[in-house]
Chains A and B, each alone.
Chain A
């Protein structure tokens, strides 16, 4: 049984941060992670349950200079259908298209997906290869302050991030793509819908003269957090995307991940998938 003593549904960021500052707060967005996890006894509610869905300005997609800013309570469905996302970060829309089911996408938020910090979270890998940053707000001394950090550095373990207890994740920001920018996402689930990723792969870079530069490769569900694959990136950076490069990169990918056995797959199979599908994605990029 739960011991929620107080329910709050603030309308402004200022108010929300004030409540957070008092401590002992569980943040509720779409609830699609929070509710199953509390019910299963994996996490316990704190004294205050704060619903952030009414907080003005936390939802929606907008330009912010050279960045695309996505508010923390923007739902997966909203991202999937957003024209700015489609144009400037299509790979994120693609990830949302493989995310859960309509019902979950209508409730689940991108802020929740990031904050839940699952190594299998579907938006994380594409966001990392897009060089996304998170924006965190707090009100330590009566005034609102914000800080930003690259998403790739944000995760510290399964369910753990660098967010302080008094901070709220307010947005995730993606730099607008350079000319020639390509990005791909692949999610392996045992079935095409409603599945948690067995592995996922994100690849991005700038394609010029048959080679990729500014390469970013990230993998999901092969480590305690989503991870950048530096050795795979190195095997690709600036090289012509020919069969030999692709095979070298796919081998590097298989060798650098260190997944585990669980009910969904063995480590061996995950490594095989990483190899085979990294290769297939690079083949497609080369042919495109």
Chain B
């Protein structure tokens, strides 16, 4: 009964699903490829600087008709230094 009221309206689902599909269609990059790109990037960066692999976030973002690959890579040493 309550579920009926809480259920997301379908237009919202349509928009969210399309946002994901379009970004992958446009870049020709599957979610699996994105995952392995992330792994290789972490390996490469780790050779130079210490990072927390768990905290790395990489994703595709839309900006009008163009796409960008956005990576957020927190550095280990720096955050510890600040916290201390």
Q: Are both chains from one complex?
A: no
